[in-house]
Amino acid sequence: MLIDLRQKLPFQDQTVELIEAHDFFEHFSAEEIGPMLDDWYRVLIDGGKIILTLPEFGELLKKYVDDPLKGLHGIYGFYGEHKMGYTKGSMKELLEKHKFKVISVEDKEIKKDDCPRMEAICKK
């Protein structure tokens, strides 16, 4: 089943235990993410968990300063691929704004490319 995650999920309220989204979150605009998080909150059971991995934009900017010839677009793909960038602090703030209890937001090493990443874990 294919689902447009910008639309209301086809699940009843409080029926989902875990939502994992890896290298996904940054592909949506700020206007799309808010309603998406609200819907995730709706479908999660009490104590349900979200695990997100995504680029850590603050660390990415530091890499750009250290190596400007590589260019931020080359590191992050600014040609329509990514719509938002988050730091650990802004991710924590966003999740809390949408009523989630943040467990952790930490650096996450993933060896598939040269992009610094973070992992955010929160509960309803």
Q: What is the mean pLDDT of residues 45-57?
A: 95
- The answer on pLDDT for 13 being more than 70 is yes
Domain ranges of the chain: 16-123
Q: Looking at domain 16-123, which CATH architecture does it have?
A: 3-Layer(aba) Sandwich (3.40)
What 3-state DSSP class applies to 45? strand
Q: CB under 8 Å to 102, separation ≥6 — which residues?
A: 92, 95, 96, 120, 121, 122
What 3-state DSSP class applies to 22? strand
Which pLDDT score is estimated for 76? 60
Q: What is the mean pLDDT of residues 27-31?
A: 92
Instruction: Look at 40-44, 70-74, 81-85, 86-90 and tell me which has the smallest mean pLDDT.
Output: 70-74
Q: Tokens for 92, please give them.
A: 């924590």
Taking the mean position of all CA atoms in its chain, how far away is CA 30? 11
Which pLDDT score is estimated for 38? 97
Alpha helices (H) along 55-107? 57-66, 72-76, 88-97
Q: pTM (2 decimals)? A: 0.86
Q: What is the mean pLDDT of residues 105-118?
A: 81
